[in-house]
Amino acid sequence: MFTILVANPKGGAGKTTIATNLAAFLAGKRQRVVILDMDRQRSAARWLSRRPRGFPEVRGALPDTDTKVIREYAPQWLIVDAPAGLHGAALNDLVKSADAVLVPVSTSAFDFEATADFVAELATIKPIKEGRRALAVVGSKVDGRTVAASDLDAFLAPLSLDVLTHIRDSQLYVHAARDGLSIFDQPRSRAEEAWSDWPPIFEWLQSLVPAQKR
């Protein structure tokens, strides 16, 4: 099982959007996927409760879910939707139990400040400091036509991190979340432009996952 921690201490950074869409994509590739929803708002769990039958299955778990239930399903992927405000010992524990950490960052000054502090804290955690955990950043809810998008690029440029892609600000994500779906559950004719933002994330993961885990 390959574990991806999707984390940013700032609420509204796009963690659940990244987690649910990534989970649905992997499930669509006939992978067994579990989302562990650790956020108090339970947005990922509610998304799963709305997911229609007939679409690729994504299973859900909460912090109090019996780990035996997860093990019996034998997921190939565990995606952890981390809580807002994550730091300290709780962050250390989640990083140590993950194989990769994906940090979404949105385009406001508040997000930049929170993310800068978070990345600095991540850099002090031993597995990341020693290069034993992969860490990457994704721009979230980005409108490429705005000054804010340029500000995001300027903020990310000096960070010594993999900056994988910008996920555009699109109503497709809003409508899909409402229906328990992802953009990858949408017809190609409707969602192809949004799909085009994601290949760098998939390529990054593919480079990390040993062949036996794929």
Q: Given this model, what pLDDT does residue 114 score?
A: 85
Q: Specify the pLDDT at position 212.
A: 38
Amino acid 113: pLDDT: 85
Whose tokens are 């998304």? That residue is 47
Q: How do the domains of the chain map onto residue ranges?
A: 2-200
Per-residue pLDDT reduced to its tens digit, 154-165:
888 877 788 888
Please state the rounded mean pLDDT for residues 179-183.
Answer: 96
Predicted pLDDT at 214: 42
* Banded model confidence at residue 142, pLDDT cuts 50, 70, 90: confident
Higher pLDDT, 161 or 87: 87
pLDDT above 80: residue 145: no
Tell me the pLDDT tens digit for each residue of 45-66: 999 999 999 999 999 999 999 9
User: What's the average model confidence in pLDDT over 171-198?
Assistant: 94
With a pLDDT cut of 90, the percent of the chain lying above it is 67
Cβ-Cβ contacts under 8 Å for 7 (sequence gap 6 or more): 15, 80, 82, 86, 91, 94, 101, 102, 103, 118
Is the Cβ–Cβ distance between 6 and 80 less than 8 Å? yes
C-alpha–C-alpha distance, residues 200 and 162, integer Å = 10
Assigned CATH class of 2-200: alpha beta
**C-alpha–C-alpha distance, residues 8 and 140, integer Å:** 11
Half-sphere exposure of 208 (CA within 13 A, CB side): 23
Average pLDDT on 63-72 reads: 91
Q: What is the DSSP letter of 64?
A: T
16 contact partners, CB below 8 Å, separation of at least 6: 39, 43, 44, 47, 81, 177
Residue type, 121: E
pLDDT of residue 109: 79
What confidence score (pLDDT) does residue 86 get? 86
| Cα–Cα distance list, 52 to 58, 162, 180, 181 (Å) | 11, 35, 7, 8
Residue 8 or 12, more confident: 8
How far is it, in rounded angstroms, from Cα 55 to Cα 149? 33
Predicted TM-score (pTM) of this structure: 0.91
What's the token pair of residue 84? 């807002």
